[in-house]
Amino acid sequence: MAIPRPHRNLFYSRYLFFMLLLIYVVACAEVPITHRKSLRLVPESELLTMSLQQYDEVLKKSNLSTDQQKVQMVRKVGFKIAKAAEAFLAEAGQSANIKNYSWDFNLIEDDKTVNAWVMPGGKAAVYTGILPYTQNETGLAVVLGHEVGHALADHGNERMSDALVAQMGGMALSVALSSQPQQTQQLFATVYGVGANVGFLLPYSRLHESEADRIGLTLMARAAYDPREAIPFWQRMSKQGEKRPPQFLSTHPAPETRIADIKKYLPEALPYFEKTAK
* CB of 172 vs Zn ion, minimal distance in Å: 31
Q: Give 47 or 212: the residue with its C-beta nearer to Zn ion.
A: 212
- H or E stretch at 138: helix 137-152
- Binding part of the chain for Zn ion, among 61-69, 109-117, 122-130, 201-209 by CB under 5 A, reads 201-209
* CB of 118 vs Zn ion, minimal distance in Å: 10
Give the SS3 label for residue 107: strand
Q: Give 80 or 159: the residue with its C-beta nearer to Zn ion.
A: 159
* CB of 153 vs Zn ion, minimal distance in Å: 10
Nearest Cα neighbor of 11 from 19, 21, 2, 3 is: 3
Q: Could you say which of 212, 220, 249, 262 contacts Zn ion (CB under 5 A)? A: 212
- Binding part of the chain for Zn ion, among 5-13, 73-81, 200-208, 222-230 by CB under 5 A, reads 200-208
Q: Which of residues 82-121 bind Zn ion (CB under 5 A)?
A: none
| # binding residues, Zn ion (CB under 5 A) | 3
* CB of 150 vs Zn ion, minimal distance in Å: 5
* CB of 106 vs Zn ion, minimal distance in Å: 19
- In terms of C-beta distances under 8 Å and separation of at least 24 residues, what long-range contacts does 68-77 make, across chains too? 70/107, 70/128, 70/131, 71/106, 71/107, 73/137, 73/140, 74/105, 74/106, 74/107, 74/126, 74/140, 75/105, 76/137, 77/105, 77/137, 77/140, 77/141, 77/144, 77/223, 77/225
Q: Can you tell me the distance from the alpha carbon of 118 to that of 141, in angstroms, rounded to the nearest whole number?
A: 13
Q: Which one-letter DSSP state was computed for residue 254? A: -
* CB of 208 vs Zn ion, minimal distance in Å: 7
* CB of 146 vs Zn ion, minimal distance in Å: 6
* CB of 149 vs Zn ion, minimal distance in Å: 8
Nearest Cα neighbor of 123 from 202, 48, 197 is: 48
- Binding part of the chain for Zn ion, among 89-97, 155-163, 202-210, 225-233 by CB under 5 A, reads 202-210
- Residue 125 as a binder of Zn ion (CB under 5 A): the answer is no
**How many residues are given for the chain?**
278
Alpha-carbon dihedral of residues 39, 43, 23, 172, nearest 10 degrees?
120
Residue 115 φ/ψ region, left for φ over 0, alpha for ψ in the -120 to 50 degree band, beta for the rest:
beta
- Binding part of the chain for Zn ion, among 8-16, 173-181, 209-217, 261-269 by CB under 5 A, reads 209-217
What x-and-dash track marks residues 242-271 binding Zn ion by CB under 5 A?
A: ----------x-------------------
What is the C-alpha radius of gyration for the chain, rounded to an integer number of angstroms? 20
Q: Give 156 or 168: the residue with its C-beta nearer to Zn ion.
A: 156
- Binding part of the chain for Zn ion, among 31-39, 187-195, 197-205, 220-228 by CB under 5 A, reads 197-205
- H or E stretch at 29: strand 28-30
Contacting positions for Zn ion (CB under 5 A): 204, 212, 252
